[in-house]
Chain A
């Protein structure tokens, strides 16, 4: 009711302005909306500009709906309909009245399309509309969205807003925008050079782009020189942060390798089973994540906390099953476990292909894992990589504690070092074997949860990681968890620092050749296991 009144008021106001300026024939907001439904992609922008100019209170909502791709119109009467997906069901709303309506068939509504040009326009228009938003984050984003398109009017508006602004970070971005404006269109060379000096402190890509174009196109040589100086200063910092970035990439790749390999460090490293089905345990973990998300739609953000234990249990149970049914009959014949587990891996792959189809499954990322931690405009650490890095370390420490501090860990170590003696001491070796294999598989399942956030969840997921996993475990030293950790991070960082020099493929080849040569030098890996049974 309130909205309707407001609308009426607006409409009256518009109507009155329209009657006053009859000769100019400015189309009304409503007319423009009709025009919008008739426009094609090339004619949409002028209409949107006119809509923005009406300063109608609904413009912000309209633009946001349009930007999100939720704005449609009914073919029958050209009325705007917003279709919003809420927990998997489409909710149809009449845009002008805000009333919910019954769903329509896909042949009855047409979507109002936007392309990248329109999207850019909408983003900056929304920026302009949000400059006075009460939320400082939004204000800052609004200012930054204006950087690439600074008009005298926006500069004036920013200058005015600057006096009212009290948030430091927003102030800084306004200053940057104003500096960029005066560097390009300042009154005098001196003003331009001062502005450029200010810009040399900023790492914002837009500022850098501006400096590039100034260096190239500025009429005044003094301005050109200043731009060159500023760029030099910026480039130095950019190079430094580039190395920091590379280091982070290396650590991140290392953490992925660690998660992929850590389960194998138990099943292969500690138990000596050449577990070719290890990759499929990762795959089972990833598929568990998918199933958990299916079971709790609408709770994607929490699903991961359910998925981690679920994946541990599912993969762990599969592991125990495999150990009980196959591997326990192969004690003392490690190379033959390779064949049996290879067979199992084929069966498991075909199993998920039959149950889930050969297509990749969609695993959504929780909100808190998307986006990045922006340290400065050229260095930002993506949250999902950061989370996975921390997660990998937590899993590692947890596993280390299990192995060193619990009774199970003690038994596992005892059995792996001297099975007969352990048996003589009263350890139920059968049970320990099953539990150890289950533990290794379960940990692999947890690794699979993390991988589902990075890569395809499909039947081939395991295949992609099996070789890397073996390399990590062998390089680190079979049976040594700490070795696995060091190996994973060494290989990750080496790969990432080689990549820019040699290209991706050569980097992988070089790393492999390095491992081959390293094993010749130290046949038992980085940290050879010491103990009576280790030869």
Chain B
């Protein structure tokens, strides 16, 4: 009689052990990582690969997902855009991954897109980009132009009284779009055409002497001038070095950048740049416990106290957390179910607020403006009162003003034309 409960307990224990072993022994859920580990983009993308691996490890320590362990599958698309498509196909058909975290440049995303749509894959794209896209198979966790550029310009106008604008960028689609949006926006605000200077440079441009000197000249016309920089990755270091050397101080001509974060700054001495600005949805210097926990986790994972965190890492973090929640909600990793479960997911972001996945597959996030400090970090000098929902289609471009993305039923369309009432492009 007294033995019975013990036996019952024992049976239960054995049964549950068997069950959990069975769960762990089950097929792992595969997470594809599609970030360049060699070539020009390795500088930026390797960190994101490590971030995904860290998140996978953490999730496995917490017991996996749906009782199954996660397994990361890493491939190297080597900064070669056609290779991105090939590797995406490999991940989806050979490795049969359930989700992909990957891409940095727009062209790599554009290259992967047809493959994702054909094979009905799911990808999380963690970098700020030009917008003008909303695919059923992609979730965009980086900033759209209205979550970076527009608030940044508002800040410069209202807080610093800027009246004259230099829009400087690398010649590719992200700067082109952002500058077009900004030009339209500034003109709407009554800025005269001669008060806007637009300049494009090739990738990896390294000799900035003339351009910086042009900017100085443009800025000495008696009106407060600012530079809005969409200069890409590795061209920034020589650009900022030249600014510092030619003595363009943030007090005279502030430069606000959308592609310069902690990681880019960690490559050089920032003391001549103190006070120049950047707009992001996250800075490492955010004073929030969630952020400190994340930084500690990152340092413990990477084993280097000096490594910085940045905005695309936060975007990867949010994307991963949301995917885990959506899979749990859907009870499966099936792409169609997860895609629907994703909409409306909320995750506590690292800046102390909440990120929401909208119907257009873009996030609502706060916008922060930071000033560069001499230790390579940013001091947050301004932030939006609440969160800003990401716009897939800009309101300031004539071609996309009337387009709408809404993946919830009944519309289920990434580019719904509100004027003609049709859904162009790929129809599901």
Contact = CB atoms under 8 A, between A and B. Distances in A.
Given A116-B251, A209-B222, A364-B269, 7 more contacts: A119-B250, A212-B221, A213-B222, A359-B47, A370-B272, A382-B246, A460-B234
Contacts of A495: 207
B266 A359 contact: yes
Contact of B371 (A115, A363, A385, A458): A115
Interface residues of B, number: 60
B209 A385 contact: yes
B42 A353 contact: yes
A358 B371 contact: no
A353 to B, nearest CB: 7
B244 A454 contact: no
Contacts of A69: 274, 373-374, 379
Contacts of A350: 38
Nearest to B373: A69
A357 B379 CA distance: 27
A458 B266 contact: no
B154 interface: no
Interface stretch (A160-168, A179-187, A419-427, A500-508): A500-508
21 contacts: A85-B375, A107-B292, A113-B381, A115-B275, A115-B382, A116-B371, A120-B251, A209-B220, A216-B222, A249-B207, A353-B38, A358-B37, A360-B234, A360-B264, A362-B269, A372-B247, A383-B245, A384-B241, A385-B209, A454-B241, A505-B171
Contact of B160 (A106, A116, A361, A459): A116
B19 interface: no
B43 A358 contact: yes
Interface in A240-270: 242, 245-246, 249, 252-253, 256
A107 B288 CA distance: 9
Given A116-B371, A119-B250, A505-B171, A360 B267 contact: yes
A119 B251 contact: yes
Interface of A: 41, 68-69, 85, 106-107, 110-111, 113-117, 119-120, 123, 205, 208-210, 212-213, 216, 242, 245-246, 249, 252-253, 256, 349-350, 353, 357-365, 370-372, 380, 382-385, 453-460, 463-464, 495-496, 499-500, 503-505, 508
Contacts of A455: 206, 237-238, 241
B328 interface: no
A167 to B, nearest CB: 22
Nearest to B302: A357
B81 interface: no
Contact of A205 (B220, B250, B275, B382): B220
B213 interface: yes
B210 A458 contact: no
A68 B275 CA distance: 11
Contacts of B274: 69, 119
Interface stretch (B126-134, B180-188, B196-204, B404-412): B196-204
Contacts of B159: 115, 117
Interface of B: 37-40, 42-43, 46-47, 159-160, 171, 200-202, 204-207, 209-211, 213-214, 217, 220-222, 234, 237-238, 241-242, 244-247, 250-251, 254, 263-264, 266-269, 272, 274-275, 277, 287, 292, 371, 373-376, 379-382
A110 B287 contact: yes
A372 B221 contact: no
Contacts of A362: 266-269, 376
Residue of B42, B200, B205, B214 contacting most chain A CB atoms (<10 Å): B42
A150 to B, nearest CB: 15
B254 to A, nearest CB: 6
Contacts of A210: 222
Contact of A372 (B202, B245, B268, B371): B245
B210 A249 contact: yes
Contacts of A380: 246-247
Contacts of B292: 106-107
Contacts of B250: 116, 119
A504 B201 contact: yes
A208 B221 CA distance: 8
Given A69-B374, A500-B210, A458 B234 contact: yes
B375 A496 contact: no
B234 to A, nearest CB: 5
A361 B234 CA distance: 12
Contacts of B245: 370-372, 382-385
A373 B292 CA distance: 44
Given A361-B267, A362-B268, A455-B238, A503 B200 contact: yes
B40 A360 contact: no
Contact of B206 (A113, A242, A464): A464
